[in-house]
Structure 1
């Protein structure tokens, strides 16, 4: 990048667009509209053509779609697998054994956290919340764990640890890497994010446990009876959402979680009793088999992806191969589960599962496209295609050029820059979505890394921690935390108050670890 670049009106308009998007996040407004308007304004200023600027709006989302479609497809295939397992009842069979080991509230806290983390790592927290609520939560309450303790375990392990690393599906690392201009570095960011998420989560779980330890009681059925005397989980979720945030950020994950719950629970009474929708006679054998085979297969995938890090002679997966392997495995497992559940009808239901997965994928992530398109406009590698420049012509790297022009004002301290990116990530998470800010934190990481002499992948992982832990559902009352507190029947503001210090302490600790380790 040229160090003597002269800033002009295009750079100013781009910075105004960034400011407008961040302000929208702070105000909890949907950021799609300012992203589209900002893209139009930058393109119009650059080209001087309203027609060209209008075309750039489409090109921005198209370029983002080309860069990110592999991510959408992995989400869709994993969701289709979960739907197929749910049809068999194998999703609930996978967690049933954990009910037997919850002998007291202390053990229940650990079991709920571990099971939520495992499910969320493979299927995201959205389906994990209703699944845990339907199967493990009643047993945990009987064991003596207070509802606020369940909220801490589920939110920190699922919306925090699992979602912030996103190590299996790799949506977040993929977005961060592409925004940083390092599309082949998604695996590196995923590895670093996994370490940081474990550090943050361990600290948050420990401090959260200490905060509710005195509320844990001796095992008794009376705990569940008192809890059941309240409103239904669905009504509780709806009331929480209506009171706190009628417009809940970019992805509205509480609604997605509620819809997922409808596929898990036949009704509140059956769910609370731990019954669920287990498969009956004809498919019972396949249900048990797949409930064991699914975690075993994906556990082997994790070991396969980690093996080259411990045994350098083994071939490593390159680029998006890891996510592709997960997606392909999910598709094959989905076919097995579908044929087991539906027999000859599987030719039709398998296609339906894939369609449902794609619908869920675009509902959950579709708004990322115009947002990512705007931030891709700030990178030289992608701006040319968005602005309609001739093929092979490199476009302006607006964000990178601005960073280099003010390089002398930026502290050359990795620690200061790392915490600055963390703060930016946390600010972008205020809208309650978690992933909407990743294009910004990724772009900043790619621009600030060389200036501060810190690896951009490290900064991207730190920014990812700030954005997802804040907006993903641990610190913001209008995020998908509403789904967690709705199912557990805990006031959302009480949950935020209890989670605030543990999560913030964990983020500070993990950011310091990132600077020291890398």
Structure 2
């Protein structure tokens, strides 16, 4: 038996479709979410003042839920900025340039490096780092700049960001909306993330080699590369001696490696794992600042933290209203508005899922295809993250209807949302990689399209059997 649906359930459903529709139309959804929060609150409380307060309170609830994610990303970016400015980042990856002897090695080495660095530092800093250091080397051995951009996109913004196993920002968002532990989502996502990654990167490589052989794709001359290296490290680069840079280039990855070992031994996941990474990043920022700035360390540590926080809130600013709305579909409703749902209700999303199961015979195939489609649609805004709350809520709805598979369905939605919107298929999302490689973002997304679509189709098929 399920609770009789009332106006609140139908309002939530209508606004879910409205948000989806505006995402398809590539329009911002913050205002739609705010209106949805207000109307849900008004019809629940019958009070204009309480429903107005609920907008603010739902934002607070969303920020509290997301604060750990926002903070870890901000700290990582702040730390990455000083590593880049001092030239330590360049020293960290420079040994790999000696291994790049052929276009094939260039594609896979740059891709795998991008994936590993993105797990710890996120893709944005990794793009600037690898583009500046390894792009000229790759072009020298015959891999076009477009191929370098593809490798960085697919391995960084695709594999690393869709799994996000170390920082755990994406799984936290999606798991919260689905109402499941982060650890369960990550366990379910591991096979899907790597199947998607293998299929997509191998497909992209095959198409790349084919077009190189046919002469459709050619290596541009060095004068056309225009590697977009911002020389923001010139001032500080000369401050640190080569030996100091070499020391930090070993110390930084070693410290993060120790973190991974500690996570495995102590079985740290979710917030605990994030806290370990974040605390390590803060210590690295302080140590490097002390050596670099000496007497000005107090001001400079703050400056780098502020730089990171600006980036974090710029990224998550549009996500907060969306997350606030979708949190109302679960435990957020009671936290913000109190116990105002019908007696016996399990939450708006759960009620809708049970109602759907009673009228529509759903199965694993329908659920998997739907979640991949919803994830891909939410990624059309070019963020990848803004739709994670929606995919988590829809996964919960379908899992309740099917009776199983919430972890796999949630993982499918997360993977599709981030691969499409996180920086592989939306022209304005691939701009960092396109800019650093000096290639047309529309050409880059066109090149990525077929491999990513093949990957999504095969991953969805595998997901059907895992639900």
TM-score, normalised to structure 1's length?
0.83
2:245 aligns to what? 287
1:299 aligns to what? 257
Out of 190, 203, 206, the position equivalent to 2:199 is 203
Q: 1:300 to 1:509 in 2, by over 3 A?
A: farther
Out of 84, 87, 108, the position equivalent to 1:86 is 84
Q: 1:49 to 1:423 in 2, by over 3 A?
A: same
Q: 1:135 to 1:410 in 2, by over 3 A?
A: farther
- How far apart are 1:325 and its partner, in Å? 1.0
- Residue by residue over 1:92-146, the C-alpha shift from the partner in whole angstroms, topping out at 9 and shown as x without a partner, is 1111112111111111111111121122111111122222221111111111001
Q: 1:302 to 1:193 in 2, by over 3 A?
A: farther
Query: What RMSD, in angstroms, separates the aligned Cα atoms of the two structures?
Result: 2.4
**What CA distance in whole angstroms lies between the structure 2 residues aligned with 1:362 and 1:455?**
33
**What CA distance in whole angstroms lies between the structure 2 residues aligned with 1:396 and 1:296?**
46
1:512 maps to 2:458: no
- Residue by residue over 1:325-369, the C-alpha shift from the partner in whole angstroms, topping out at 9 and shown as x without a partner, is 111111112111111211232122112222221111111112211
User: 5 Å matches for 1:319-468?
Assistant: 319-379=270-330, 381-387=331-337, 397-468=347-418
- How far apart are 1:276 and its partner, in Å? 7.0
- How far apart are 1:388 and its partner, in Å? 5.1
**What CA distance in whole angstroms lies between the structure 2 residues aligned with 1:214 and 1:422?**
29
- Residue by residue over 1:234-266, the C-alpha shift from the partner in whole angstroms, topping out at 9 and shown as x without a partner, is 6xxxxxxxxxxxxxxxxxxxxxxxxxxxxx621
Gapped regions of structure 1 (runs ≥ 5): 235-263, 268-274, 308-313
Q: 3-state DSSP class of the match of 1:300? A: helix
Deviation above 4 Å: which 4+ runs of structure 1? 275-278, 393-396
Equivalent residues of 1:186, 1:319 under 8 A apart: yes
Number of residue pairs aligned between Structure 1 and Structure 2: 461
2:189 aligns to what? 193
Gapped regions of structure 2 (runs ≥ 5): none
**What CA distance in whole angstroms lies between the structure 1 residues aligned with 2:246 and 2:408?**
42
- How far apart are 1:227 and its partner, in Å? 4.6
Q: 1:73 to 1:281 in 2, by over 3 A?
A: closer
Out of 110, 113, 123, the position equivalent to 1:112 is 110
Equivalent residues of 1:88, 1:283 under 8 A apart: no
Out of 435, 440, 445, the position equivalent to 1:486 is 435
Q: 3-state DSSP class of the match of 2:422? A: helix
Equivalent residues of 2:162, 2:415 under 8 A apart: yes
- Residue by residue over 1:463-495, the C-alpha shift from the partner in whole angstroms, topping out at 9 and shown as x without a partner, is 1001000111112223x2122223323333332
- How far apart are 1:215 and its partner, in Å? 4.5
Equivalent residues of 1:92, 1:278 under 8 A apart: no
1:60 maps to 2:25: no
Q: 1:191 to 1:201 in 2, by over 3 A?
A: same
1:244 aligns to what? none
Equivalent residues of 1:135, 1:276 under 8 A apart: no
- Residue by residue over 1:397-441, the C-alpha shift from the partner in whole angstroms, topping out at 9 and shown as x without a partner, is 222212211213444422321221111111111111101110011
Equivalent residues of 2:185, 2:407 under 8 A apart: yes
1:161 aligns to what? 159
**What CA distance in whole angstroms lies between the structure 2 residues aligned with 1:46 and 1:229?**
61
**What CA distance in whole angstroms lies between the structure 1 residues aligned with 2:247 and 2:71?**
26
Equivalent residues of 2:78, 2:304 under 8 A apart: yes
- Residue by residue over 1:373-398, the C-alpha shift from the partner in whole angstroms, topping out at 9 and shown as x without a partner, is 1001111x2202222559xx998722
- Residue by residue over 1:295-332, the C-alpha shift from the partner in whole angstroms, topping out at 9 and shown as x without a partner, is 22223323433x3xxxxxx5422551111111111111
Q: 1:414 to 1:142 in 2, by over 3 A?
A: same
Deviates more, 1:441-450 or 1:280-289: 280-289
Q: 1:366 to 1:281 in 2, by over 3 A?
A: closer
**What CA distance in whole angstroms lies between the structure 2 residues aligned with 1:5 and 1:178?**
23
- Residue by residue over 1:71-97, the C-alpha shift from the partner in whole angstroms, topping out at 9 and shown as x without a partner, is 111112211211221232111111111
Equivalent residues of 1:90, 1:287 under 8 A apart: yes
- Residue by residue over 1:490-514, the C-alpha shift from the partner in whole angstroms, topping out at 9 and shown as x without a partner, is 3333322221221122122223334
**What CA distance in whole angstroms lies between the structure 2 residues aligned with 1:145 and 1:173?**
34
TM-score, normalised to structure 2's length?
0.92
- Residue by residue over 1:438-468, the C-alpha shift from the partner in whole angstroms, topping out at 9 and shown as x without a partner, is 0011112223223323331221111100100
**What CA distance in whole angstroms lies between the structure 2 residues aligned with 1:95 and 1:327?**
22
